[in-house]
Structure 1
Amino acid sequence: MDDRYFLIEEARNGNQQATEKLLVNWQPTLKKMAFKQCSLNDVDDAVQESLAIIWRRIGTLKTVEAFPGWLFIIVKRECAKLMKQTHKLDEMPDDYQELFSYYSNNDLRLDLIAAIHSLPDKYRAVILLRDLEELSIGEIADKLLLTRMAVKSRIHRGRLMIQEYMAK
Structure 2
Amino acid sequence: MESLVKNRIKAIKKGDQNAYAEIVEIYKNKVYQLCYRMLGNRHEAEDVAQEAFIRAYINIHTYNPDMKFSSWLYRIATNLSIDRIRKKKPDFYLDAEVRGTDGLTMYSQLASTDASPEDTLESLELQEIVQKAILKLPEKYRSVIVLKYIEELSLQEISEILDLPVGTVKTRIHRGREALRKQLGHL
What TM-score comes out, normalization by structure 2 length? Answer: 0.41
What TM-score comes out, normalization by structure 1 length? Answer: 0.45
> Which structure carries more helix by proportion?
1
Q: Rg larger in 1 or in 2? A: 1
